[in-house]
Chains A and B, each alone.
Chain A
Amino acid sequence: MTLPLEGLKVIEFGSVLAGPCAAMHLADQGAEVIKVEPPEGDPARYYAPSFANGLSLAFFTFNRNKRSVVLNLRHPKGLAAVHRLAQWADVVVINMKTGSPERLGIGYEQLAAVNPRIIYASMTYAGERGPEAFLPGIDIVTQARSGILEHHQPPGQAPRTSLFFNFDMANAILAVYGVTLAMLERQRTGKGQKIEVSLLQSAMMMHSTQLTRATPLDQKPVPHAEGPAYPSRLPPDALPSIYQCKDGLYIFFSLPGERWERFCRILGLDKLADDPEYKDPIKRNQHAKGLAKVIADRLATKPAEEWEKMLKADGHVVNVVRRMTDVYDDPQVIANKMITTYEQPGFYPVTTVSTPLWLSATAEEYRFHRPAPLLGEHTFEVLLEMGYSDEDLAEMAAEQVLGQ
Chain B
Amino acid sequence: MALPLDGIKVVEYCSVLAGPCAAMLLADLGAEVIKVEPPGTGDSARQLSPAFPDSDGLSLGFLTFNRNKRSILLDVYKPKGLEVAHRLTRWADVMVINMRVGSPDRLGIGYEQLAKINPRLVYASMTSLGEKGPEATLPGFDIVTQARSGVMEVHRPADRPPVNTSLFNFDMANAMLAAYGTAVALLDRVRTGKGQKVEVNLLQSSIMLHAIQMTRAIPVDQEPVPPALAPAYPSKGGGLPNRLPTIYPCSDGRYILFMMPAGRWPVFCRALGLNDLGKDPTLQDGNARNARAQEIYDVLSRRFATKPAAEWEAILKAADQVASVVKHLEEVYDDPQVVANEMITTFDQPGFQHVTAINTPVRLSASAGEARIRRPAPTLGQHTQEILQELGYTDEQIVELAAEEILG
Contact = CB atoms under 8 A, between A and B. Distances in A.
B67 to A, nearest CB: 10
Chain B interface, DSSP helix/strand/loop, else mixed: mixed
Interface in B97-141: 111, 129-136, 138-141
A128 to B, nearest CB: 7
Contacts of B181: 357-359
Interface in A49-83: 49, 51-52, 55, 57-58, 60-62
Contacts of B353: 214-217, 221
Contacts of A353: 204, 207-208, 211, 214-215
Given A51-B219, A191-B366, A332-B130, A184 B173 contact: no
A221 B169 CA distance: 29
Nearest to B150: A324
A61 B215 contact: yes
A33 B401 CA distance: 53
Given A169-B208, A174-B361, A210-B329, A322 B343 contact: no
A319 B149 CA distance: 10
Nearest to B331: A147
17 contacts: A130-B336, A151-B165, A165-B209, A165-B210, A169-B209, A178-B362, A184-B4, A189-B366, A206-B169, A207-B172, A211-B332, A231-B166, A242-B162, A319-B147, A329-B228, A359-B181, A359-B196
Task: Pick the 6 closest A-B CB pairs, nearest first.
Answer: A130-B340, A335-B133, A324-B150, A336-B130, A127-B341, A147-B329
A244 B161 contact: yes
Given A216-B52, A232-B165, A348-B224, A161 B215 contact: no
Interface string A302-340: 000000000010010111111111111111111110110
A4 interface: yes
B364 A356 contact: no
A169 B185 contact: no
A5 B184 contact: yes
Which interface class (under 10, 10 to 19, 20 to 34, 35 or more) fits A? 35 or more
B302 interface: no
A37 B268 CA distance: 28
A233 B150 contact: no
A144 B324 contact: yes
A147 B327 contact: yes
B373 interface: no
A87 interface: no
Given A5-B184, A242-B164, A327-B214, A358 B199 contact: yes
Contacts of B323: 141
Interface in A1-53: 2, 4-5, 17, 21, 25, 29, 47-49, 51-52
Nearest to A134: B320
A322 B187 contact: no
Interface string B249-260: 100000101110
Interface in A108-148: 108, 126-133, 135-138, 140-148
Interface in B328-372: 328-333, 335-341, 343-344, 349, 351-353, 355-359, 361-366
Given A200-B343, A328-B227, A144 B325 contact: yes
B15 to A, nearest CB: 13
Interface string B203-232: 111011111111111111000101111111
Contact of A131 (B191, B249, B336): B336
Interface string A262-282: 000000000000000000000
Given A178-B364, A232-B165, A250-B161, 11 more contacts: A127-B337, A141-B323, A161-B257, A162-B155, A198-B343, A206-B172, A228-B50, A351-B217, A358-B198, A359-B199, A360-B196
B183 A173 contact: no
Contacts of B17: 209
Which interface class (under 10, 10 to 19, 20 to 34, 35 or more) fits B? 35 or more
B328 A147 contact: yes
Contact of B143 (A147, A177, A217, A254): A254
A289 interface: no
Interface stretch (A99-107, A152-160, A383-391, A394-402): A152-160
Contact of A214 (B140, B233, B349, B362): B349
A196 B188 contact: no
A201 interface: yes
Contact of B153 (A208, A216, A324): A324
A317 B324 contact: no
B355 A212 contact: yes
A81 B369 CA distance: 34
A205 interface: yes
Contacts of B344: 204, 211
Contacts of B230: 351
B162 A250 contact: yes
A264 to B, nearest CB: 18
A350 B60 contact: no
A204 B360 CA distance: 11
A354 B49 CA distance: 36
B192 interface: yes
Most B CB contacts (10 A, CB to CB) among A164, A191, A253 go to A164
Nearest to A177: B180
A250 B322 CA distance: 38
Given A195-B365, A254-B143, A157 B216 contact: no
Contacts of B147: 242, 250, 252, 319-322
A162 B236 CA distance: 7
B144 A319 contact: yes
B403 interface: no
B61 interface: yes
A182 interface: yes
A150 interface: yes
Contacts of A152: 155, 165
B186 interface: yes
A241 interface: yes
A231 to B, nearest CB: 6
Interface in B169-184: 169, 172-173, 176-181, 183-184
A367 interface: no
B24 to A, nearest CB: 10
B267 to A, nearest CB: 13
Contacts of B210: 164-165, 324
A146 to B, nearest CB: 6
A158 B247 contact: yes
Given A149-B326, A154-B160, A136 B190 contact: no
Nearest to B145: A319
Most B CB contacts (10 A, CB to CB) among A141, A177, A254 go to A177
B151 interface: yes
Nearest to A203: B332
Contact of B183 (A154, A184, A218, A332): A184
